[in-house]
Structure 1
């Protein structure tokens, strides 16, 4: 069963969830992992695509949107509405609900910021993962 890490962010900075997702993606990529970032829709996918190029000066995280020509050759995919066709090591979930395919990943990352709606949805996802028998760990981060 998947190991799920909940990252609780205390900062109220704009786009803090997405920026932390970029940092986490970069770290996992440098460790040789393949990462899938699950987002809500095309608009959020495009924002994450842009942010991965610009979140930190000097960073390089090769990535592609799912269902594009580059997707099969890229270690980081951004998608919505479905799961990646290739095997991935880490699922970073930026959606309000638990992806139905989460159990296909050995690791899942959930990022919770100070937005009340996100915190409420995060609590529900925590219960859902717990009910599925996942190993859960919480990390409170002051960033």
Structure 2
């Protein structure tokens, strides 16, 4: 069973937190998939990954690209795993269960906006559902220094 880690975003927006977490994953040699809620959001995240830091580079593509299978990071809107990723990032309230049924991941990271009541409620519901299904779950929240603290 995959571990599912919930990341409560209340200090940084997704466009800042996601690249930092992806850098860690790629640094470990992991392939990653990021599932967004819509094609427009996927395109916005694609642009954000190209421009988030002039001194960094995150090699990535989208599921629409012909070479998606060779990309270390693929942005998508569906549950497929086009690059054989071992880690999946769920953003914008996307549902983890369908993606977990499609592929075996070492870890699924569910990032939710703590300032958005709907995303908070959705994360709570997913926590309960995933725990009931037997997945190991963990909760991470950013501290004042911007580092992630495991809270549960």
Give the structure-1-normalised TM-score. 0.89
Counterpart in 1 of 2:137?
Answer: 136
Q: Does 1:42 align with 2:39?
A: yes
Q: Is the Cα–Cα contact under 8 Å of residues 70 and 83 in structure 2 kept in the other structure? A: no
Structure 1's unaligned 5+ residue stretches are none
Alignment match of 2:23 (pick from 20, 23, 26): 26
Counterpart in 1 of 2:91?
Answer: 94
Structure 2's unaligned 5+ residue stretches are 147-152
Number of equivalences: 140
| Offset of residue 82 of structure 1 | 3.3
**1:72-94 C-alpha deviation (Å, 9 max, x unpaired):** 21110000123123421110001
Q: What CA distance in whole angstroms lies between the structure 2 residues aligned with 1:85 and 1:53? A: 20
Q: What CA distance in whole angstroms lies between the structure 1 residues aligned with 2:138 and 2:41? A: 26
Distance 1:122 1:18, change over 3 A: farther
Q: What CA distance in whole angstroms lies between the structure 2 residues aligned with 1:19 and 1:99? A: 25
Q: What CA distance in whole angstroms lies between the structure 1 residues aligned with 2:92 and 2:106? A: 18
CA RMSD after TM alignment:
1.5
Q: Is the Cα–Cα contact under 8 Å of residues 91 and 102 in structure 1 kept in the other structure? A: no
Q: Is the Cα–Cα contact under 8 Å of residues 8 and 111 in structure 2 kept in the other structure? A: yes
Alignment match of 2:82 (pick from 75, 81, 85): 85
Counterpart in 2 of 1:119?
Answer: 120
Give the structure-2-normalised TM-score. 0.84
